[in-house]
Copies of this chain bind each other. A is one copy, B any other.
Amino acid sequence: MGDEVKVFGFWGSPFSRRVELALRFKGIPYEYIEEDVIGNKSPLLLQYNPVHKKVPVLLHNGKPIAESLVILEYIDETWKSNPILPEDPYNKAKARFWAKFIDDKCMPAIQKAVLGPEKEREQAAEEVYDCLKALESELNGKRFFGGDTIGMVDIAGNFVGYWLRIIQEVTGVELLSAEKFPHLFKWTDEFVSCSIVGENLHPKDKVSVVIKARIDQMREAQTKAPN
């Protein structure tokens, strides 16, 4: 088709991972451009996402799209093979609901439980518990949130499916256990066992080092900050 597909991303971003996973599931070749999001964002990234100035950006035949969930929908509508959203409007609405729930509730709660001020972490851990309980209930016996195959909610949930268990190992804070959330825990195993997912995720050792550095840095900044 002569499509030119580029992804501006950052290896350590679960949001960038979403875009790459969706393209890989559909077998769409793309050029990946790694952004230096911490120190030196490229002029192209700022040009293509002037509102948020963030990764990921998908560039399709010169047209930029930002916001990972918006990009996932675009990918599913543009390349029809291996759909990641159900066709039925009601099931599609449910998938959108849960993807949004992961963004709006789960990820901020996990971030706060790990990186927030010490006195707020316990309450945030309770919020994480409620979030994971809701996901556990939605998953209820299915192999993936998408049913028998990986769908948009699984892809959106890669932070829970891969990163969270590494965060737990690094911090010693257990938020997601097999005892409390058997379905969800099993899902994280199924998710990373999928070859396309495994190939796109960075090695655990590399991720651990970066997560640890980030946590140390944030917590040190908090101890120095005035109350």
Q: Which of A68-76, A121-129, A181-189 contacts B (4 or more CB under 8 A)?
A: A68-76
Question: What chain B residues lie within 8 Å of A66 (beta carbons)?
Answer: 97
Number of copies of this kind of chain in the complex: 2
Cβ 8 A contact of A90, one of B65, B89, B100, B101: B65
Chain A, interface SS category: helix
Q: Known A65-B90, A90-B63; judge A97-B70 contact (CB<8 A).
A: yes
Q: Smallest CB–CB gap between A193 and chain B, Å?
A: 28
Q: State whether the Cβ of A28 lies closer than 8 Å to any Cβ in chain B.
A: no
Q: Which of A71, A89, A93 has the most CB of B within 10 A?
A: A93
Q: How many residues in A have their beta carbons less than 8 Å from beta carbons of B?
A: 23
Cβ 8 A contact of A71, one of B71, B92, B93, B134: B93
Question: What chain B residues lie within 8 Å of A134 (beta carbons)?
Answer: 51
Within 8 A of B (CB), among A11-59: 51
Chain A positions within 8 Å of B, measured between CB atoms, are: 51, 60, 63, 65-67, 69-71, 73-74, 77-78, 89-90, 92-94, 96-97, 100-101, 134
Q: Given contacts A51-B134, A67-B96, list 14 more A-B pairs with CB under 8 A.
A: A51-B101, A65-B90, A66-B97, A67-B97, A69-B100, A70-B96, A70-B97, A70-B100, A71-B93, A73-B92, A73-B96, A74-B92, A74-B93, A78-B89
